[in-house]
A and B are shown apart, each in its own frame.
Chain A
Amino acid sequence: MSEHIMSSKFYYTIWIALLCLTGITVAASFIDLGPFNAVVALVIATVKALLVVLFFMHVKYTSEKLTKIVIVSAIFWLFLLLALSMADYATRLWT
């Protein structure tokens, strides 16, 4: 986190990338990809979230490893919540 000052041009580049990805995800929703519409939308959302976390929130340049551990654990816990819940609900109709 310390004195790592990025150029403003760098932030503008990330901003343009985020706007382009928004445009792409909207455009993709108008194309019929079957079940892959959801996959494409979530992959693009995750790329956008990564850009924000790594560069706008400076996680890529943070010196504190604990911070990164907290972030990864938080995502892991969220994944546990979603995966274990769906392991129940998605399999209830199995016989």
Chain B
Amino acid sequence: MSDSPIAVEQHGPELLHHFADADQQRDAATLGMWLFLATEIMFFGGMFCAYLIYRFWYYNEFAAGSRSLDIWLGTINTAVLICSSLTVALGVRAAQMGKRKLLVILLLLTIVFGFAFLGIKGVEWYGKYKEHHIPGNSFNVDDLVRDYPQLHIDPRHEQIYFSLYFAMTGLHALHMIIGVGLFVFLTYYAWKGRYTPKYYTPVEMGGLYWHFVDIVWIYLFPLLYLIDRHR
């Protein structure tokens, strides 16, 4: 490049050479992330659609399945995720202000909340395993048929509720695991001091992903846990 008439400026990650300025680069990253989240909405959307159809058909079985879940563990998990979204939002703010230590602490707190959520989810799943509520050969809902005689439960339809429950919470938990993995990377690089007030796009994008997974749970919680407690 020494014979080039134009001096080639050296760019850091805060402004790659194909962007006009830092604002444009950040807007491009944000737009790309939201496009990805749009595909994620459709990804989860297929499951929400299946849920809607089967809830419409087998309402009583869905109500009974919903009441067999632990509403308090679900509520605690919702609160845990909301707290994690707060630490993420404050983390992005810390990155904007260049507070490295605070950023690392908030990212670590987010990871702790993420593990807390997954742990509580695991406890719930284990409870369902012990109750034989996991669809498959040992699936048995005689307890629900006995407890809710007024609902006239068909075990095959009850199995559809639990299939959707495990598919939806499982896919959500997979997203949580990926999120925790992302945040481990973010924490490492934040600790290394890579993120500055001029360049914190990865923190911001990781945050968008985390908030999105939180929003999915905000809908899953009422749809799976709070269906109908009065029949």
Which residues from chain A sit less than 8 Å from chain B, CB to CB? 1-3, 5-6, 8, 11-12, 14-15, 18-19, 22, 25-26, 29-30, 32, 37-38, 41-42, 44-45, 48-49, 52-53, 55-57, 62-64, 66-67, 70-71, 73-75, 77-78, 81-82, 85-86, 89-90
Whether a CB of chain A sits under 8 angstroms from the CB of B118 is no
In contact, B219 and A49 (Cβ under 8 angstroms):
yes
Main secondary structure of the interface of B (DSSP, over half): helix
Which B14-57 residues have a C-beta within 8 angstroms of A?
A: 23, 26-27, 30-31, 34-35, 37-38, 41-42, 45-46, 48-49, 52-53, 56-57
| Interface residue stretch chosen among B76-84, B152-160, B175-183, B186-194 | B76-84
B218 at the interface (CB under 8 A from A): yes
Say if the beta carbon of B130 comes within 8 Å of chain A. no
Q: A5-B93, A56-B86 given. 15 additional CB < 8 A pairs?
A: A1-B30, A18-B82, A18-B85, A30-B229, A48-B215, A53-B215, A56-B88, A66-B27, A67-B30, A67-B31, A71-B38, A77-B41, A85-B49, A89-B53, A90-B56
When the two chains form their complex, are residues A82 and B219 in contact, meaning their CB atoms are under 8 A apart?
Answer: no
What are the residues of chain A within 8 A of B223 when measuring CB–CB? Answer: 41
Q: Which residues of A contact B230 (CB under 8 A)?
A: 32, 37
When the two chains form their complex, are residues A38 and B211 in contact, meaning their CB atoms are under 8 A apart?
A: no
A6-B93, A22-B78 known; A82-B49 Cβ under 8 A: yes
Q: Are B215 and A52 in contact (CB under 8 A)?
A: yes
For this complex, into which size category does the number of interface residues on chain B fall?
35 or more
Chain B residues with CB under 8 Å of A25's CB are: 221-222, 226
From the candidates A22, A52, A71, A77, name the one contacting B34 in the complex (CB within 8 A): A71
Q: What A residues does B53 contact at CB under 8 A?
A: 85-86, 89
Residue ID in chain A nearest B228 by CB atoms: A37
Residues B49 and A52 in contact, CB atoms below 8 Å apart = no
Interface: B61 (CB within 8 A): no
